[in-house]
Structure 1
Amino acid sequence: MTQRLIAVCIAGPLVLILGGVALAVPLPFASYSPGPTFDVLGKDADEAELVQVDGHKAYYDDGQIRFTTVVASSNGQKLSLGDAMSRWLDRDKAILPYDVVHPPDQSAEDEEAEGAIQMTTSQDVAKAIALKELGTDVPTAVQVAAVSEGGPAEGKLLVHDIFQEVDGTPITTGDDVVKAVRKHTDTSNVEFKILRDGRELNVRVKPKIEEGTPRVGVSVGLGYDFPFKITLRVDPSVGGPSAGLMFSLAIYDTLTPGSLTGGEIIAGTGELQPDGTVGPIGGIEQKIAGAQEAGAKLFFVPKANCPDVKDLDPDLRLVKATTMHEARLALEKWAGDHDAKLPTC
């Protein structure tokens, strides 16, 4: 056996081993894949409407308004070279820097909690914008956005409770609540006066000292004093703010006679702001792929995401969404004529 052949016999397996190791080594990347879509005008597993209205007539018509999701690779799971290559070859998946998908200062639990708060806020903003679209004034309020599991306020304060007073002092901002709680360094009871489903309640919560600061275990956020009750029965495992536009269109459709979609399936995405504008989101290509799989014929793209879709040619119509009002008008126009001229990217 020649020296060259001996070298090949020794080096060949080593190259294969090193190649296998290289393919398995974690890299600083994560991925997005198309997630499920949810018809806000549909029903849940118990055959209950996802949009529930109490105190106003509701109209349940044909058609679907679907919000879209993406599935991110898990927090703590960095892609190997092999995983990254396989996802890169799949047109419906995206590879992103790991720290963009999972910020270094957030645990999986932090991400889940933040997603839940964002979902709560997006639903309330969607309700308010839909009502304003109907000409109804909706005053803003300070509310409970989330309650920490096992915290002092669990079972006492609920998500959507509106803060009216803390220790007898009227509340106008979220900072008012935080500052009032922080005064209780002796862990004496914090006296909350809240509004829950139209009823005034007085609630006492004994704070706990955490990192030297009194806390009651709630997150405070923007809320509204709604004239009647609107409930969105969304799967609690879904978080984030990007369904806001679809929520608002579905609520508007439910509160008005006739089908806003003309009985068709439409989908979209976009974080709805308190002024009615539609903000950008992540994973737009994956959401379009999910909507197409669900049979949608039209998809709303936030204006700021238009550069992300310029090279796409999906089998559904892409419509630029700048505000909820403009999206609503475009949808009504499209429902009457699928070939109508609409805002595009």
Structure 2
Amino acid sequence: MRPATTAIARIARRPTAPARTVTSAVDNATIRPVMSEVSPDHSPPSVLPPPMIGDSQPPIVPTPTQSPATNPKRLWWALPILTVSWLVLLTVIVAGAITIERWETAPGSVDAVSPRLGFGTGAAEVTRYPSKNSVRFVTAYGSQLTALEGFVGWVDDDIAVETKIERFGERSPVEQRRLGFQAMVGAKQIAEYVALKRLGYEVALNYGSVVVEQVLCDDEPTPDSACKVLNPGDVIESLAGTPTPTLDVLVKAMEGRRVGDVVELVVNTLNSNPSETRRNEKVRLIASPDDPKRTIIGIVPADTRTVDVPFEVDISTDSIGGPSAGLAFTLALLDELTPGNLMGMSKVAATGTIAEDGVVGAIGALRQKAVAVKQSGADVFLVPKSQTPEEIASARSAVGSSPTIIPVGTLDEALTALKKFGGGSLPASSSLPAS
């Protein structure tokens, strides 16, 4: 073991190295090229060792890098795409704001009738059986379209797009709405008459004025055809000198007349001063489009009948127009005024007009109403048997297997169909009160 003093002495005798001059590394920095290419064998690029500070090799300090200037040629494609995008957006905005001369018929609402029923004067002694599973009535929406809505309607099979003539004929939209509301009033009246009569109540049906709802033209109308001289809303007061205060009187006045006969009508305008609007018109009679052997004036009369019933019935329909809810209203009244449940456990919707003899009549927009019923989740949809086979087939194709679409021709057929789906039966008329 060597003494410590010997080691210290040896270190002290070593020659002293000359002093070094230290130069700033930044001043002597050089830049080495960095290889970024991938080697042929796809090995990752080599990593340079950290710089060494010495006598002959100054340290390498990388200078700050700058992003290369954006090359305008690389963005040549962006300007056309941006321009087209703005044009498309502008087109959509404009198309959604401009209305066009087209109207839609689209799936509407499906509403339970029972909550809309009300009974007033004379109904104190009437027992009600409010239904928890009421029959539903169906509507179709209709409004003037914007250009955008028109495009959507044209590509949607469940929306019908119509011209003004196809939608209103010779009527104005205001006249159409007025006649639609009047038709709804008539549908309620006839539904009350049919239902209460079926239940054994004493009721009476009264005919109203002969009001023109729609004019009809044959293939070659003459200047004196009804479609040329009469207008929707006209009231026919007499035919060939015979007063025609009601439709049943007009029907009798037409007996024995032939196609081509010219008759003189005294015509007034509904809800106007007769002394100011009354006029005489000569009209050439035509054959009925449904029955060529039957002679008609060339009009479709509005239903202006009223009923006398033992108690007041109110069916709230808000601003809904048209007669197509007649069958649903009739079924709802029968269900409301009898024990049990005519609908059973099924969710039932119904559409169709109702006549005083219980016949179910055809309606419009069947496909759209069928789609609305499907969207509501109903199981059964009663429709008029008098619809064309094409209309019924179109409705069935629109909804698939549900709801089950059942064509019915009368109220009795509708009640029979409901029984097959678990619905109840009506009690005998003799067991119900009569006024």
TM score, norm. by length of structure 1: 0.63
Q: The residue matched to 2:306 in structure 1 has which SS?
A: strand
Is contact 1:64-1:263 (8 Å) kept? no
Change (3 A) 1:277 1:307: farther
Match of 2:412 in 1: 325
Change (3 A) 1:144 1:252: farther
For residue 321 of structure 1, report the CA deviation from its aligned partner.
1.7
Is contact 1:244-1:272 (8 Å) kept? yes
Match of 1:140 in 2: 205
Match of 2:128 in 1: 58
2:397 maps to amino acid? D
Deviations 1:28-72 (A, max 9, x none): 6421111122211125xxxxx446681532211321211111111
Match of 1:210 in 2: 276
Match of 2:373 in 1: 291
Deviations 1:238-273 (A, max 9, x none): 111000000000011111111111254211211112
Correspondence 1:1-345 to 2 at 5 A:
29-43=102-116, 49-50=117-118, 54=123, 55-74=125-144, 80=147, 82-103=148-169, 105-136=170-201, 138-143=203-208, 173=246, 209-212=275-278, 221-226=304-309, 228-303=310-385, 304=387, 305-312=391-398, 313-336=400-423
1:66 maps to amino acid? R
Change (3 A) 1:206 1:295: closer
1:211 maps to amino acid? T
Distance 2:345 2:396 in 1: 28
Q: The residue matched to 2:348 in structure 1 has which SS?
A: strand
Change (3 A) 1:135 1:261: same
2:150 maps to amino acid? A
For residue 307 of structure 1, report the CA deviation from its aligned partner.
4.0
2:350 maps to amino acid? G
Deviations 1:248-304 (A, max 9, x none): 000111111111112542112111122211111111121122222222111111111
Is contact 2:209-2:246 (8 Å) kept? no
Instruction: Calculate percent identity across the aligned residue pairs.
Output: 27
For structure 2, the residue ranges without an aligned partner over 5 or more in a row are 1-79, 212-243, 251-265, 280-301, 425-435
Deviations 1:215-235 (A, max 9, x none): xxxx98212222x12423323
1:84 maps to amino acid? G
| Structure that is richer in strand per residue | 1
2:191 maps to amino acid? A
Change (3 A) 1:234 1:59: same
Match of 2:289 in 1: none
Q: The residue matched to 1:224 in structure 2 has which SS?
A: strand
Is contact 1:299-1:318 (8 Å) kept? yes
Is contact 1:51-1:251 (8 Å) kept? no
Is contact 2:183-2:303 (8 Å) kept? no
Asked which structure has the greater RCO (Cα within 8 Å, sep 6+), the reply is: 1
Is contact 1:298-1:318 (8 Å) kept? yes
For residue 144 of structure 1, report the CA deviation from its aligned partner.
8.2
Distance 2:187 2:150 in 1: 32
For structure 1, the residue ranges without an aligned partner over 5 or more in a row are 1-8, 44-48, 147-170, 178-182, 186-204, 214-218, 338-345
Match of 1:190 in 2: none
Is contact 2:208-2:245 (8 Å) kept? no
1:258 maps to amino acid? G
Distance 2:248 2:414 in 1: 34
For residue 140 of structure 1, report the CA deviation from its aligned partner.
1.9
Structure 1 stretch 257-266 or stretch 276-285: which is displaced more?
257-266
Change (3 A) 1:90 1:209: same
Q: The residue matched to 2:419 in structure 1 has which SS?
A: helix
For residue 145 of structure 1, report the CA deviation from its aligned partner.
11
Change (3 A) 1:297 1:248: same
Is contact 1:245-1:271 (8 Å) kept? yes
CA RMSD of aligned residues (A): 3.9
Distance 2:276 2:165 in 1: 28
Distance 1:206 1:315 in 2: 49
Change (3 A) 1:65 1:220: closer
Q: The residue matched to 1:221 in structure 2 has which SS?
A: coil
Distance 1:230 1:318 in 2: 33
Q: The residue matched to 2:109 in structure 1 has which SS?
A: strand
Distance 2:321 2:272 in 1: 29
Q: The residue matched to 2:182 in structure 1 has which SS?
A: helix
1:225 maps to amino acid? D
